[in-house]
Amino acid sequence: MRITVVGTGYVGLVVGACLAETGSDVVCADIDEHKINGLKQNVLPIYEPGLEDLVERNQQQKRLTFTTDVGSAVKNAEVVFIAVGTPPDEDGSADLRHVLSVADVIGRNMSREMVIITKSTVPVGTARKVADAVGKNAKFPFHMCSNPEFLKEGAAVEDFMRPDRVVLGVDSDYSRSVMAELYAPFVRTGKPILFMDIPSAELTKYAANGMLATRISFMNEIANLCEKVGANVDNVRKGIGSDVRIGPSFLFPGPGYGGSCFPKDVKALLRTAQENKASLKVLDAVEQANERQKHRLFDKLSSVMPDGMRGCRIAVWGLAFKPQTDDMRESPALTLIESLLEAGATVVAHDPVAMPEARRRLGDRIAYTESNYDALTGADALVVVTDWNQFRHPDFERIKSSLKRPIVIDGRNLYHPDKMAALGFTYRSIGRGRE
């Protein structure tokens, strides 16, 4: 099958490489010449485990190619995925300019019947707008499909190759048959392909991320309550997570959610509700709770620094919003760092893979170290923000001897409070007893 993927960001690159891996001829197109030139040399614009090997192998075997000529890439395709960015506007709605621009290019360049798939995260009604834009110039029949992605950063290749479900909103038997054939190699273990109408598919993506964001914010609120009443959120989490109606996933408290999906999708879903005069008060509260939670680490650190932050040196372990990615979009680390700098502290940070992205965002406003332990030298306190495996079992004696003061703020509950107390640390975590 001849497939074109327009957009070589996080979603488009994973989609293109994984589809090529199953034998399809895939062209990934993007107007960013620098990015495309890098991809031709197997230099990826993102960090994602396993993706580099896929790109290199499928380029070598001539199943995957990259181009800046979007029109040419569309011309002979049977299937076109639109996977360009949909950044939030100031009002929270998804910016569809790039999506509709691609739709216009498709309409002007298509040379045969094709299926056009919106893979970007887009609000309800977008497929119809894309169809209108394509139809202005199309000389051949086309069929629309909404195929929302459910890729977890850090596990995106595995998620695509072995999905727990594939959601497909289709408008015809033709698009249904083409998409069933396309995804057949990925659901051989019996995982479902869920065919539905296009608006339902478009809403499913936002609803799923809204639900996950709700679980995270709810658990963070419970953790904050635990600190008031002397309860341990670890016990509460296990107690409710063992209920089969609830389950254990997304119940770990922390410094708030971030990344490219949850913050943007919550805002877009709230905007969709507002435009349709519907109420989503629960989700509105989720967003407010998350914004409050991102300030918790600074507040906890402030509570154990009686002389204030000015002139202090703070070590930060973890800059990405989650492990196994270099994505810092909406990362709680950014909120913490900005608060520290505003309070007059200096920051020295380490992250296993996000340092280049941090330098791009923060420049020389903070210092960076190649080792997590190097960040501790002369620091007044350590704040753990991202739960990388490398941080889970550190040398505590080395931490204590390197710090000027034995203060550790653990935003991911990686360490045991009793052990930290026995070692002589001033230790604060999230929701584990009174503070």
Place of tokens 């809403």: 203
Strand partners for 67 = 29
pLDDT at 261: 86
- For the chain, the 3-state helix, strand and coil shares in percent, each to the nearest 5, are 45, 15, 40
pLDDT at 189: 87
User: What is the pLDDT of the chain when averaged over all its residues?
Assistant: 95
d(CA 210, CA 284): 10
Q: Give the active site residues.
A: 261
Domains of the chain: 2-195 (3.40.50.720), 205-293 (1.10.1040.10), 296-428 (3.40.50.720)
pLDDT confidence bin for 194, thresholds 50/70/90: very high
d(CA 86, CA 97): 8
pLDDT in tens, 130-142: 999 999 999 999 9
d(CA 423, CA 237): 26
Q: In the predicted model, what is the mean pLDDT of residues 106-114?
A: 96
- Count of C-beta atoms within a 10 Å radius of residue 102: 27
d(CA 386, CA 323): 6
Q: In the predicted model, what is the mean pLDDT of residues 279-297?
A: 96
254 in helix, strand or coil?
A: coil
Answer yes or no: is pLDDT of 306 > 90. Answer: no
Pick the range with the lowest mean pLDDT from 191-195, 202-206, 212-216, 258-262.
258-262
pLDDT at 367: 98
Place of tokens 């210092």: 367
Q: In the predicted model, what is the mean pLDDT of residues 5-26?
A: 95
d(CA 408, CA 421): 11
pLDDT in tens, 205-220: 999 999 999 999 999 9
Q: How is residue 199 written in tokens?
A: 């608006």
Share of the chain above pLDDT 90, in %: 92
pLDDT at 89: 72
pLDDT in tens, 404-434: 999 999 999 999 999 999 999 999 999 997 7
Share of the chain above pLDDT 70, in %: 99
Residue 65: which H helix or E strand, with range? strand 64-67
d(CA 284, CA 119): 26
Which of 316, 406, 434, 402 lies closest to 365, judged by CA? 316
Which of 87, 81, 8 lies closest to 51, judged by CA? 8
Are 276 and 343 in contact by the 8 Å Cβ rule? The answer is no
d(CA 258, CA 377): 29
DSSP 8-state assignment for residue 245: T
Answer yes or no: is pLDDT of 88 > 80. Answer: no
pLDDT at 200: 97
d(CA 425, CA 94): 46
Cα 169 versus chain centre, distance: 23
pLDDT confidence bin for 91, thresholds 50/70/90: low
Place of tokens 């000389």: 139
Q: Which residues contact 325 (CB under 8 A, 6 or more apart)?
A: 46, 47, 48, 153, 154, 259, 353, 354
DSSP 8-state assignment for residue 94: B
Residue 174: which H helix or E strand, with range? helix 173-183
Are 6 and 30 in contact by the 8 Å Cβ rule? The answer is yes
Q: Which residues contact 190 (CB under 8 A, 6 or more apart)?
A: none
Q: Are strands 114-118 and 79-82 parallel, antiparallel or unpaired?
A: parallel
Q: In the predicted model, what is the mean pLDDT of residues 294-300?
A: 97
pLDDT confidence bin for 120, thresholds 50/70/90: confident
pLDDT at 399: 98
